[in-house]
Amino acid sequence: MRLILTLEYDGTPFRGWAVQPGLPTVEGALREALDGTFVSAENLAVAGRTDSGVHALGQVVSVDVEGGPPRERVAAALNPRLPDEITVLSAAPAPDGFHARHSARSRSYRYRLFTRATPSPFELRRSWWFPRPLDQDALAAAASPLVGEHDFRAFTPAETQHEVFVRVVERAEWLRRGDHLDFEITAVGYLRHMVRSLVGTMVEAPGSITELLEGRGRSEAGTTAPPWGLYLVSVAY
């Protein structure tokens, strides 16, 4: 039986999603929990590989399992076997041919800036503390041209395995939520570090975005924002 698992996790203690020998990863912890719950668990696939320190509110996984608890008890069976920083929110049967990554239509991310004048221990590794003044109108204007099909090579490391740099963005906007200023983006696909590089550039030089989308090099864009402000919010199928 193929299952769809929806997860949330605090990425702080993990070296990203993908298994790495000798290092704590989200995938490694999930595989260990699956192996302890089912007779077999194979063909694990994830909607979006998150980097070290990046969080998820709605990560999606597909996996083929045999034996173990009935579907309605899968989340309750897995969660005690997982670190406190990872929770299985739900488990559902997958339709024929479903694949967490290949079946995804789009993925939505949120990047959180914490803009209070003083830091907060509750925001540590949950957002990027940015106490300096920000021009929200300029940020809104910078996000607007991101929507559509563009060349995003300026927003991914120069040394990359990507061969195609064009991506389609469906939504991009900044939202004020109290002391937080959030950048939210929905796209069909992303380049490595794309969202974090967009945020760093918009914060530093919001007026440069339009010309950077013309295929400029990475050196012309701004800083890559730290990973701990980034959240994978949801995946659409």
Catalytic residue, chosen from 10, 51, 84, 137, is 51
- CA 162 – CA 183 distance, rounded (Å): 24
Residue showing tokens 């790495």: 20
For every residue of 89-117, DSSP letters joined together read EEEEEPPTT--TTTT--EEEEEEEEE--S
CA 50 to chain centre: 5
Of the candidates 90, 94, 87, 61, which has an alpha carbon nearest to the alpha carbon of residue 74?
A: 90
77: enclosing H helix or E strand: helix 74-78
CB proximity list for 202: less than 8 A, separation 6 or greater:
139, 142, 143, 183, 209, 222
Annotated catalytic, 51?
Answer: yes
Of the candidates 227, 203, 220, which has an alpha carbon nearest to the alpha carbon of residue 16?
A: 227
| Residues with catalytic function | 51
